[in-house]
Amino acid sequence: MTTTSMLAEYRAGRLSPVEAVKDALGRIEEQDGSLNAFCLVDAARALADAAASEERWRRGEPRGLLDGVPVSVKDLLLTAGWPTLRGSHSIDPDQLWDVDAPSVARLREHHAVIIGKTTTPELGWKGVTDSPLTGVTRNPWDTTKTAGGSSGGAAVAVATGMGAIALGTDGGGSIRIPASFSGVFGIKPTYGLVPIYPASPFGTLSHVGPLSWSVRDSALALDVLSGMDSRDWSAGPRPHESFVAAAESATVAGMRIAFSPDLGYVSVDPEVAALVESAVSVFTELGAVVSVADPGFADPVDAFHVLWFSGAAAVTAPLTDAQRARLDPGLREVSAQGAEYSALDFIEATATRAALGRTMGAFHEQYDLLLTPTMPIPAFEAGVEAPPGFDRWTGWTPFTYPFNLTQQPAATVPCGFTSAGLPVGLQVVGPRHADARVLAACAAFEQARPWQPNRDPSHS
């Protein structure tokens, strides 16, 4: 059930928050042993919060936009009362945990029921979800495959009904990768729309955003999550527009849309390419003017590596030798590489980033949106950083990390299944601060090609 439907049922008295939360907890109990989406579940607290919500709805006095909706939070985001271990043995669980991240605080203000924390690779460093602390998170459509990452637990939770909305983070594709692999909707909003505290070790590459069963649900989540927080100097004000209203407009008529099948340099699996091309044709049918066009930039992976690996080096620098020995081996490697970069390397990577931003700014003067595949390949073997033929996770995520460098809003919508039954996603990218436009376009596609009836992997 979508969040929108759930809230309508609460309002009509046909469903209670306690029933919805019990259902989510039941799914966790039934399915999470084989999927590993959650690293912490607090059933007692969730049921107590649901009972309080049920009483508010009974009195006709719900509080907030998400009262009684079961949600989850990625274990990179602080949650008061629970440890935030980030998939790492290096973090001491026995300390005071009394602070909510801004996004978590907003969920509580709107009385969502937070049922637990979802899995992440160690410190969120890669595009799949496995860690020395919590093990391997698996794809609900095929448990031999990866769910993607680093918000892999969040995507699996939504795909299997273990909560209606999940909070994720995205520093190089970490919402869009698992959403695409798991067959759900996910959006990385414009940087600064959702405040972050504490600051990510990966700096302004990292965004917070929702994953959900429908576009409107994520729009509703962004109405809750957006706005300034005094702890984040880089956060912007809450927009005047309603993201729900934008999603409900669900139109692309008259938009000028570019479709780039490969950004000019990416090799795409033929089955993925065909599904995405079919999805793009829908936008023409809906009245958009669609042209095949590449933005015109070279692969910025080297600059991304400098910025990303430097962040990994910084966050692991205080660790003891014993702690470092327990790190994910890949994280150890990229941290060592990051430690070798100079300040000049960092400045040059930042200049490359700025140039890429200018290129995309000019591109969006001509085109309202850019469509690409979200991923060039379907989900691959679980428990490895990359499939054969690739060294690092960035090798198989070329469509996602460029738009972290530019801080643009980028979403993924399910657009079909491979012959092996694995989900494929279409990426919708807008200019900075055009989050409402991205949501409207995704909602229009969702209406034309609804994926929810085919989306529950437990019934596949």
Cα(154)–Cα(168) distance, integer angstroms: 6
Cα(285)–Cα(28) distance, integer angstroms: 40
Of 74, 117, 145, 188, which residue is the catalytic one?
74
Query: Is 174 a residue of the active site?
Result: yes
- Alpha-carbon 261 to chain mean position: 22
Query: Is 150 a residue of the active site?
Result: yes
Check whether the bond before 195 is cis (ω within 30° of 0): no
CA atoms within 13 A of residue 122's CA, in its CB half-sphere: 24
Amino acid letter, residue 133: L
Residues facing 292 on adjacent strands: 259
Contact 254, 437 (CB under 8 A): no
Of 53, 90, 150, 206, which residue is the catalytic one?
150
Query: Is 291 a residue of the active site?
Result: no
Residue whose entry in the numeric block shows the structure tokens 């972050």:
196
Cα(330)–Cα(214) distance, integer angstroms: 34
Query: Which DSSP string do the residues of 256-301 spell out, in sequence order?
Result: EEEE-SSTTT----HHHHHHHHHHHHHHHHTT-EEEE--------H
Cα(87)–Cα(310) distance, integer angstroms: 19
Burial pattern 73-91, b for ≥16 Cβ within 10 A else e, equals: bbbbbbbeebbbbbbbbbe
CA atoms within 13 A of residue 139's CA, in its CB half-sphere: 29
Helices (H), 86-209: 102-109, 152-159, 176-182
From the list 157, 171, 233, the residue with the least C-alpha distance to 202 is 171
**To 5 degrees, how large is the angle CA 49–CA 224–CA 48?**
0
Of 174, 182, 200, 226, which residue is the catalytic one?
174
Q: Please identify every residue annotated as catalytic.
A: 74, 150, 174
